[in-house]
Amino acid sequence: MPSMELAQTKIPYLPPDWTAERVTKLAVKLGAFILVPGVHQVTCNRKILGCLLFLLYAVSEFVLSNAPIGGISSYSPSFTYLFPVFWNLSDVAQYTSWILLAIDLRSSVQRQLNFGSMLLLPCFAIIFFAPLENNRLLNFHIEQENIVCPEFCENDIVEWQFHDSKVHKLLPGDYVVLKIHSTSYYTTRILEGPVRG
């Protein structure tokens, strides 16, 4: 069969036993080791360390990819300070995994993706490909004024979207969110249309 012949094709400049099939399997294995923190450690029978690295990375990436965008961070210092922590934790897990892989690189050629490590791969895929990142479209702020109370009063959480003039034309009576400074927002209402002259 042509596919079998292709798999057994010898690769130039490599030893005779390095066929296309073997090189492909090695590339897939090393790709999994590099992309998914903890997989390499699980194949080394360090399952607890591998799972901890993966969990640290997965939780951090989940928080980062699903955190809402908006002005709330300016009124919630804990949120502002914690957000970079997740970036750092994600990097720590990734770099630790790469360092351990580099130390064990020569033996990694012989490592096999076992059942435990294979379980981490779909979990990794879910984090990045599940349609959860739609949450990033959420924009909101905590109202600091009573300009349009009782519709939106002080300390109300106001959700909003960026205005697209192709979809909606602003009219008198519409509520809009304005930015005062780089992180300060307030809600107001359009009282009069543009002056034509």
| pLDDT confidence of residue 187 | 85
> Of 71-85, 116-130, 163-177, which range is least confident?
71-85
Residue with more model confidence, 126 or 52: 52
Domain count, the chain: 2
Planar angle of CA 121, 26, 105, nearest 5 degrees: 90
pLDDT at 69 over 60: no
Asked, for residue 143, whether it belongs to a domain, the answer is yes
Whether residue 76 is predicted with pLDDT greater than 80 in this model: the reply is: no
Domain end position, chosen among 132, 155, 170 = 132
Range of the domain at 144: 139-189
Is the pLDDT score of 23 beyond 80?
no
Q: Are residues 157 and 92 in the same domain?
A: no
Q: How far is it, in rounded angstroms, from Cα 146 to Cα 108?
A: 63
Query: Per residue in 111-155, pLDDT tens?
Result: 887 777 777 878 777 776 665 544 445 677 788 888 888 888 888
Q: Give the relative orientation of helices 115-129 and 20-35 as an angle to the nearest 10 degrees.
A: 60
Same domain, 30 and 115: yes
Which residue's entry shows tokens 């009782």?
A: 150
> What is the reported pLDDT for 98?
92
Give the pLDDT band of residue 66 (cuts 50, 70, 90). Answer: low
Mean pLDDT of the chain: 75
Do 96 and 166 fall into the same domain? no
